[in-house]
Structure 1
Amino acid sequence: MRSALLACTLAAVLLGTLGGCAGGEEYAPLRHPFRGATLLVDTDSPAARWRDDHDAAWLDPIADTPQARWLTGPDDLTDLAPVLATARRRKALPVVVIYHIPNRDCAGPSGGGAADGDAYTEFIAQTVRRLGDTRTAVILEPDAVAAECFDDARADLLADTTRTLADAGHHVYLDAGHSRWRGPKEIAERLRRSGITRAEGFSVNVSNRQSTADSHRWGLAVSRLVGDREMVIDTSRNGLPAPPDDQWCNSTPEGLGAPPTTDPGLERVAALLWIKSPGESDGPCGRAEPAAGVFSPARARALISAAPWLPAAARQAAAGARAPLS
């Protein structure tokens, strides 16, 4: 192990990569895409579309805030060109989420994904072609690494995808789950199998409600085990304490977390982001609510109304919003 680590360090110095070594593995150099970057405000986000269609200015706190664009299959690629054009025009960094791994939710309620590994590889190739030369931050496959159905085949597929995206010039953040799911050692081992050496870092708390402080502490422990990779933390719905039962579906109450920033002032945190689109349903908890992935203005209203950092006027405007809210 010592000789491998020395060889790795020497190779990094000679090549000028200085990407770091851990466990005898050479890590690609960090490119820090978020440093000094302007995050893209997607004018075609679910919240923005609903606001514009219903003249609902109370949705501004969500609609006017940068958030990620989700790619859940080939159909989502058709609307990507205008988003990328806007990013180039504004010199802004787009953030996309790739969420199409085979057996996506381990046959759970958010199931779907590509039919098999070959179909997924073709989807990634199509995505790379659509992204073109617009350098993009990519959140790769929420839950895929932490999931119960993680195995060698999935790890290999993620590693190949990470390499393909990185070779095309994009900045990959492999999703690591959240702080109350798996321990840092287990996640770090899974991330190494999934290609973290070629990734810019990993994402934490996507679509979840764990606090930024807890996510950061857990993420630091993971980072130390994977070559000091940086993390991005999803704060889209962690403004209130996480529910004690860690329910994955629509939680009540919940509030918008801290707004996105590329200067979070936290060790090894590249950015705080709204990765999950605020207001999109996570699925009904036995109640008459929209299916997962469907924008719910009622949930958006609840998120805004309970956001502790928003001005009182914005919270009150959302709380007083009336129909239509479906």
Structure 2
Amino acid sequence: MRRNPLPFLAAVALTVGLGGCRIGAEYTPLRHPFRGASLLVDTDSPAAHWRDDHRAGWLDPIADTPQARWVTGPADLVDLGGYLDAARDRRARPVVVIYHVPNRDCAGREAGGAADAAAYARFIDRTVETLGDSGAAVILEPDAVADECFDDARAALLTDATRRLSDAGQYVYLDAGNPSWRTPHEAAERLRRAGIARAEGFAVNVANRQSTADSHRWGLRLSALVGDREMVIDTSRNGLLDTSDDQWCNPPRQALGPPPTTEPQLARVAALLWIKNPGESDGPCGRDEPPAGVFWPAQARALVAATPRLPAAARAAAARATVPVS
């Protein structure tokens, strides 16, 4: 696929206060990819296919809402072209999640992700080629910066991936975690090491359920420490204000959050997005539940039925639906 050359971006020097000391950094100018942009409703998503195959209209609140496309390894690149073509045809901004860093879940050989740094570099090469001139907003490596196994080697991989994707004309948002995980100062120090100066911004609350307000407050403090980079907030499953149970993996109480928008009317927020695909399992969680990333109709039904902002008829239709338990 042919790509247009990326226009030259002159770096501007900014000095940022971090952890009580002042550290100089050069940040590329913001390009604001979501301004005036529309988002793509993916008719090829698992939720859309399940709805169509089972005539399950109660799934419309999920299937008819724009969501990100996840790339968890080389195999996912095969179908990514169709998603990008659809976005181009509809003049929508594609949102792509890259989730394949080595030792992805910080569990050694069982952690998932690329086998090693060389394999990851080859994967990024193929991803850059597949993305072509799509101008995608790329959510780069959920959890990778905030997780316990973040180190200099991982930081170097993320810095290189950010540079290569940005130089190829994509818009990178490094995942920063969520308000319950790291302090803004901790997150800022890690983002700087991971190449935030070359990124468009950072993502908050990916696959989590922290409120939009809490995510925004935390993100504002973080932005001030990393050159006023903009944030995107994942609102896919934060529709309930009470998150006191703090169970991240398939909690019994959760709901769809605010719909995605490129006009969020929140300071330094580029967009509210559904980054995690609602209705997909977080993992077995020690129970008879699907693996992580697998569409789970029972969870999708529960999400729709519990979402306060939806009309009562839509919630009732979901509650009455018959779906497989697992």
Aligned to 2:184: 184
The letter for the 1-side match of 2:145 is: V
User: CA separation in 2, counterparts of 1:264 and 1:109?
Assistant: 40
| Whole-angstrom distance in 1 between the partners of 2:13 and 2:312 | 45
Structure 2 match to 1:64:
64
> What does the per-residue CA deviation read over 1:108-153, in whole Å, with 9 as the maximum and x for residues that have no partner?
8983000000100100000010111111000000000000000000
Cα shift readout 1:231-277 (whole Å, capped 9, x = no counterpart): 00000100013532422211111000000000111110000000000
- Confirm or deny: 8 A CA contact 1:20 1:28 kept in the other structure: no
Query: Would you say how many aligned residue pairs link Structure 1 and Structure 2?
Result: 312
Paired residue for 1:279? 279
The reply to whether residue 254 of structure 1 matches residue 265 of structure 2 is: no
Cα distance in 2 for partners of 1:89, 1:192 equals 36
Change (3 A) 1:143 1:167: same
CA–CA distance in 1 between the matches of 2:15 and 2:231? 17
Report SS of the residue matched to 1:24: strand
Unaligned runs of 5+ residues in structure 1 are 1-14
Output the CA distance in 2 between the equivalents of 1:273 and 1:159.
24
C-alpha RMSD of the superposition: 1.6
Matches within 5 A, 1:89-100: 89-100=89-100
Verify the 8 A CA contact 2:10 2:28 in the aligned structure 1: no
Instruction: Report what 2:236 is aligned to.
Output: 236
Shift of 1:288: 1.7
Spell out, residue by residue over 1:274-294, the C-alpha distance to the aligned partner (whole angstroms, 9 max, x if none).
Answer: 000000001233332112111
C-alpha deviation, 1:18, in angstroms = 5.0
Taking the aligned partners of 2:323 and 2:26, their CA distance within structure 1 comes to 56
2:310 counterpart residue number: 310
Partners of 1:24 and 1:109 in 2: how far apart?
37
C-alpha distance in 2 between matches for 1:256 and 1:109 = 34
Structure 1 partner of 2:129: 129
User: Structure 2: how far apart are the matches of 1:88 and 1:215?
Assistant: 31
Partner of residue 265, structure 2: 265
Distance in 1 between residues matched to 2:80 and 2:115, nearest whole Å: 22
Counterpart position of 2:88: 88
Partner of 1:48: 48
Conserved? CA contact 2:14–2:24, under 8 Å: no
Instruction: List aligned pairs for 1:110-125, cutoff 5 A.
Output: 111-125=111-125
Deviations 1:7-52 (A, max 9, x none): xxxxxxxx86557443311100000000110001111112111111
Q: Cα–Cα, structure 1 residues 290 and 26, in superposed 2: closer, same or farther, change >3 Å?
A: same
Distance 1:242-1:18 versus aligned 2 partners, 3 A rule: farther
CA contact (8 A) 2:307 2:315 kept: yes
Instruction: Provide, for residues 43-81 of structure 1, a one-character-per-residue CA deviation record: whole Å limited to 9, x for no partner.
Output: 111211111121111101100100000000000000011
State how far apart, in whole Å, the 2-side matches of 1:58 and 1:110 are. 37
Aligned structure 1 segments of 4 or more residues deviating by more than 3 angstroms: 15-21, 323-326
**1 CA distance for matches of 2:221 and 2:41?**
32
Q: TM-score, normalised by structure 2?
A: 0.92
Q: Is the 8 A contact 1:282 1:293 kept in 2?
A: yes
- Asked if 1:155 corresponds to 2:155, the answer is yes
Tell me, yes or no, if the aligned pair for 1:138 and 1:172 is still in contact at 8 Å.
yes
Match of 1:25 in 2: 25
Q: Which amino acid aligns with 1:70?
A: W
Q: Which moved more, 1:195-204 or 1:287-296?
A: 287-296
- Mapped partners of 1:32, 1:225: distance in 2: 19
Provide the C-alpha distance between the structure 2 equivalents of 1:146 and 1:94, rounded to a whole number of angstroms. 25
Report which of the two has the higher share of strand.
2
Which amino acid letter does the alignment assign opposite residue 182 of structure 2? Answer: R
CA contact (8 A) 1:163 1:198 kept: yes
Which residue in 2 is equivalent to 1:140? 140
Q: Residue 156 of structure 1 contacts residue 193 of structure 1 at CA under 8 Å; is this kept in 2?
A: yes
Distance 2:213 2:298 in 1: 28
Q: Which amino acid is the alignment partner of residue 168 of structure 1?
A: A
Q: Aligned in 2, Cα 1:213/1:108: closer, same or farther, shift over 3 Å?
A: farther
Q: Give me the whole-angstrom Cα distance separating, in 1, the residues matched to 2:255 and 2:300.
A: 9
